[in-house]
Amino acid sequence: MEERFKGIGASPGIGIGKVVLLERKEPRFVYEFLLKESEVKKEVERFKKAVDEVKKEFKQLIKNLKKTPFKEVKQIIETYISILSDPLLFKTTIHCIKEEKVNAEWALAKSLEGIEKIFGEIEDDYLKQRVQDVHYVVNRILTKLQSRQEISRQVPAQSVIVAYDLSPPEMTRFLSGEVVGFVSETGGRTSHTAIVAQALKLPAVLGAKEISQKVKVGELIIVDGLSGEVIVNPLSDTLKKYQEKQKKYKEYCQEIEHFAFLPAQTLDGYTLKVMANVELFEEIPSILNAGAEGIGLFRTEFFYLQQKELPDEETLYEYYAKVVKAMAPYPVTFRTLDLGGDKLSSALEFTPALNPALGLRAIRFCLKQKDIFRTQLRALLRASAHGQIRILLPLISGLEEIKETKEFLEKLKAELKVSGYPVASHIPLGIMVEVPSAVTLIEFLAKEVDFLSIGTNDLIQYTLAIDRGNEQVAYLYEPLHPAVLRMIYTIVETARKLRLPVSVCGEVAGDPIYTPILVGMGINEISLNAQNIALIKKTIRSISFQEVRELVKELINMGSVKEIKQCYLNIVQNWFKETLEDILTERISLVYEGKT
C-alpha cells in the first residue's frame, strides 16, 4: 500500500530506489548503579576506550577522503573529533560516572541532555542545528559501548538510505554511485546532513517522523527533495508521475547551470550582486564554482565554536587573511561575533538567561566583553591589508552601539598603525537590520554606516513576536506579512535616498519565490547558500525591474497576508510558468498554503 511521509526538503532532486535501512530509532539503554569503586574505574576506562575507537574511526575517514573533492565533509569530521574531547561531553561524562556511580551510557546521555539544553536556547537556526553533530558523535560512542552491528558499506544499486539519524561520515560511506537519495527523521535545511547531501548532489528529505520505524528493507521509495515528500510503495500512477518529474528536474538543472556565471541583471537592465553565505574557509572553492560574486555574510562565530579555547589575535588574523586572499578580487563581509548568552562553548562562560534571544548576545556581548571584541576587530583590521573586507555588526538596536563601535575601531586602527601593521585606508562598516527598533531609527543609523544588510530571519521573528522553533506558532512565521514588507520597503527607501547599498542575507534571499519582491524593493545585493545561485540569477534575468517595482508599490498598500498572497503569488506563478516551469510552481502552492 502506498504510504506518504512529510519532512523537510533539504537537498533538491528526485530519487527513486530501494530502501536500505541504517537505524530504526534512537539507541536505548538502561540505568545501572555501580556498587563498587572498581566498577566505576572500569566504566570510566570503557568510556575512554569507546571514545578512542570513535576518534580512530574519524581519523581513518579523513584519510580516506583525502583524494575526494568533498572538503566540506573532511571539515565536518574534524569538528566531530573536537566534539569528542570537548569538556562538556568528555569530562562531564567521566565526572558523572565517578560522582553518580552510573554506567557510561547513562552518564553520556546525561551530558547530552545538558548540551541539548544549551543549544535549545540558541536563536540562530544554523547554530541550533549544530546539536545534530553532537547527537551523531554521542551515537557513535554508544555504538562502540554497546557493540552494535553496523551496516556494510556495500549497498545495492539504486539505494535510498533511510535512518533515524544520518550523519556526514555515514553518507560518505556511499560515494560509489549506488545511492540515489537520503531520508532521516532528524535534521533540517541547515544541518550538516543537508549540506553534505547538497555537495553530493543527491536528494534528501530530513525530519520525516517515524519513517525509520515503518519502512522495510527493499521496499520501493521515492524521495522528493523539492517538496519534502517521501512515498513508500508508490502506486503505478504515482511512480510514473515522479519518473517524469525526475527527468524534468535533471533537464532543468542542466538548463540553468550556465546562469551561475551570467550577470544577475533584469530584462530592463537593473543589476544586483549575488553573493554567498559562508561559515567556513573550506566552502570557498564551492561557492566560487557556483558563481558567487563575493561573500555577503561570513559567520565568524562558527570558527570560535570549533576552538577549545578563545582564539588569539594571530590565529584569527591568519584565518581571516586566508579567507580574504582566497576570495580576491571579490569582497568578504565579516559579521562580527554573533554569540553570547547561549554559553555555546566551554571557552565562553555566562550566566544562563531566561530569554537568550533578548539577552546578552551579538553586538551587546561584544561591547560588554571588549577584550574578545578587541581581539577580533584587530584581526579583521590586519586582514584588510590582503583584500576587500567589510565589517558587519549584528543585532544593532540603537545609535549608541554604532558610535561606540566606531570609536573603538578608530582607536584600534591607531594602535595598529603605531605598531607598524598595515590597514586598508577605508573598510566599509555596515549593520544588520534585524530588530524593529533599527527599522524605526533607520534614518539615523544609516547615516553612520556604509551599507545595510537585512537579516530577514530575525527581523520577521522579532517583528511578529514568533519563536520559529515553537511548533505551536511556527505557522505565523510569514515573510509576506504586510508589516515585514513595509519594514523592508522603509529600509531600502531610506538607503536609496542616502545612496547606501542594501543587501538581504536571510533565508528569503535564497528562495526564488521571493526574488521578484526583493528586486522590486530595490535591493542591491543578495547573499544566499551557494547551491541556489544559478536559480536566483535565472529568476532575476527573467523579470522586469519596472514590473516588479510597480507590483511592490501595490503590495505595500495591502493590509493582510491573504490579500498579498493572492495578488503576489498569482502573478509570480504566471511568470514562473513561462520561465521556471512546474518545478517552482509546486513550491509556490506550498508557500500559498503556508506549508513551508
Alpha helices in 384-481 (DSSP H): 399-418, 436-440, 442-446, 456-464
Contact 11, 198 (CB under 8 A): yes
Give every CB contact of residue 342 below 8 A, 6+ residues apart in sequence: 118, 119, 121, 122, 127, 350, 356, 361
Question: Exposed e or buried b for every residue in 363-386, given b needs 16+ CB within 10 A?
Answer: bbbbbebeebbbbbbbbbbbbbeb
Q: Is 96 a catalytic residue?
A: no
Whole-angstrom Cα distance, residue 524 to residue 146?
A: 55
- Map 84-121 to HEC letters: HCCCCCHHHHHHHHHHHCECHHHHHHHHHHHHHHHHHC
* CA dihedral sign of residues 333, 336, 342, 343: positive
- Which of 96, 366, 386, 505 is flagged as catalytic? 505
Instruction: Show Cβ contacts of residue 37 under 8 Å, excluding neighbours closer than 6 positions.
Output: none
- Identify the H or E element spanning 264: strand 264-265
Task: Give residue for cell 591589508.
Answer: 385
Nearest to 264 by CA among 529, 587, 516: 516
Could you give the CA distance from residue 400 to residue 98 in angstroms, rounded to a whole number?
Answer: 50
**Which of 507, 516, 489, 510 has its CA nearest to residue 571?**
516
CA pair distance 310, 315, nearest whole angstrom: 10
- Among the options 192, 366, 386, 481, which is catalytic? 192
CA separation for the pair 165, 134 (Å, rounded): 12
Residue 258 annotated as catalytic = no
Look up residue 342 and give its three cell numbers: 547561549
What is the layout of strands, in order, in the sheet containing 220-224?
3-6, 229-232, 220-224, 14-21, 159-163, 179-184, 204-206, 8-11
Q: What is the largest CA-CA distance in the chain?
A: 80
Which candidate, 390, 394, 386, 327, places its Cα nearest to that of 367?
394
Residues acting as catalytic residues: 192, 505
